């Protein structure tokens, strides 16, 4: 969805506001609106790691991790200050706060051939969090029709964003051993090999600022001359962004159960040092996570009217 798609809707709403006159008793020049409501997040995406290799007794080694991320809806807070230069038209500044959990699930498939085919599968759960603080500069319109007070506003939003996530991926490792033995009259070497996979940790930590738009509309229900119950629906468009996973170095244990297949030993690797070189290699084969931070909000709040009662 682009900014251009919102323009006709916003223009139409302002046109509808123009015919109203000052006699409609729309309210005072200054308004403060405070909202709390449900933030319906659209942030979801997938990424992953994939590699194939072979060495010594191992052939057709295949490892793949698929990571799926999906946000959870959450409560948001926002506040708007409006100043009306005409009874039906004014300007508005707003500030919001929204934070959504974005858990993820990692699915790891691992297989290899050493004369026969072996397959392993693991599932891991990760966590994440997306925080957005939008600062809005809007045009605002209001009108009254059949004792119903309606309002609309929309404009530019400056988003101050932060995204953090932790997930996991499988990384295949192997060790090769050469055993020299005497088979008279010759000295020969026997190759043995161990294969395992590490449950390596992946992380994203990023802050950024982006430019987007917002568009909202709602209804007012008067409680007193100064206090009004207000309901609103508002859409925030924030551009998509790519996030690149960082593989965390350190000591990891293998995840496979200990077993022996001929000269192949499966599992049993402990304290493997996953170093910078391996992390750099894995990051090159890891696809980025693309998220859409845009969201739809449905809120309930209070409006406080300030200043003189009408505008010329």
Q: Residues with Cβ < 8 Å from 132, sequence gap 6 or more?
A: 96, 97, 98, 99, 159, 160, 161, 236, 238, 293, 295
Alpha-carbon distance of 19 to 88, in angstroms, equals 8
Q: What is the pLDDT of residues 10-22, one digit of tens each?
A: 443 443 444 433 3
The span from the first CA to the last CA of the chain, in angstroms, equals 38
> What is the enclosing helix (H) or strand (E) of 187?
strand 186-222
pLDDT(185) > 80? no
The more confident residue out of 264 and 89 is 89
- Residue 130: pLDDT band with limits 50, 70, 90: very high
Q: What is the pLDDT of residues 133-149, one digit of tens each?
A: 999 999 999 998 877 89
* pLDDT reported for residue 26: 65
pLDDT(211) > 70? yes
Instruction: Give me 90's structure tokens.
Output: 């004014």
Q: What is the pLDDT of residues 246-305, one digit of tens each?
A: 999 999 999 999 888 778 888 989 999 999 999 999 999 999 999 999 999 999 999 988
* pLDDT reported for residue 161: 98
- Residue 238: pLDDT band with limits 50, 70, 90: very high
Share of the chain above pLDDT 90, in %: 70
Across the chain, what does the average pLDDT equal? 88
Count the Cβ atoms, other than its own, within 10 Å of residue 229.
13
All domains in the chain, ordered by first residue: 3-306 (2.40.160.20)
**Full-model pTM:** 0.84
């Amino acid at each position: 969805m682009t900014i251009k798609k919102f323009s006709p809707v916003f223009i139409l709403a302002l046109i509808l506001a123009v015919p109203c006159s000052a006699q409609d008793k729309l309210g005072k020049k200054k308004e403060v609106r405070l909202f709390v409501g449900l933030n319906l997040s659209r942030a979801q995406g997938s990424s992953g790691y994939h590699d194939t290799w072979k060495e010594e007794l191992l052939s057709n080694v295949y490892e793949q991790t698929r990571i799926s991320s999906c946000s959870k809806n959450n409560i948001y807070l926002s506040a708007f200050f409006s100043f009306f230069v005409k009874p039906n038209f004014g300007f508005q500044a707003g500030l919001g706060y929204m934070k959504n959990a974005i858990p993820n699930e990692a699915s790891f498939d691992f297989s290899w051939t050493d004369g026969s085919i072996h397959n392993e599968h693991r599932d891991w759960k990760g966590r994440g969090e997306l925080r957005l603080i939008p600062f809005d500069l809007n045009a605002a319109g209001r009108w009254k029709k059949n004792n119903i007070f309606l309002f609309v506003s929309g404009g530019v939003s400056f988003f101050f964003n932060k995204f953090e996530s932790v997930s996991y991926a499988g990384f295949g490792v192997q060790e090769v051993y050469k055993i020299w033995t005497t088979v008279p009259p010759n000295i020969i070497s026997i190759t043995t090999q161990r294969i395992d996979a590490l449950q390596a940790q992946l992380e994203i930590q990023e802050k950024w600022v982006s430019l987007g738009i917002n568009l909202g509309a709602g209804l007012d229900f008067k409680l007193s001359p100064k206090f009004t119950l207000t309901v609103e629906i508002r859409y925030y468009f924030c551009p998509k962004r790519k996030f690149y996973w960082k593989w965390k170095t350190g000591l990891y244990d293998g995840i496979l159960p200990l077993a022996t297949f001929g000269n192949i030993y499966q599992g049993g690797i402990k304290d493997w040092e996953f170093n910078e070189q391996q992390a750099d290699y894995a990051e090159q084969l890891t696809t980025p996570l693309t998220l859409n931070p845009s969201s739809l909000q449905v809120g309930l709040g209070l409006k406080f009217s300030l200043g003189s009662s009408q505008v010329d």
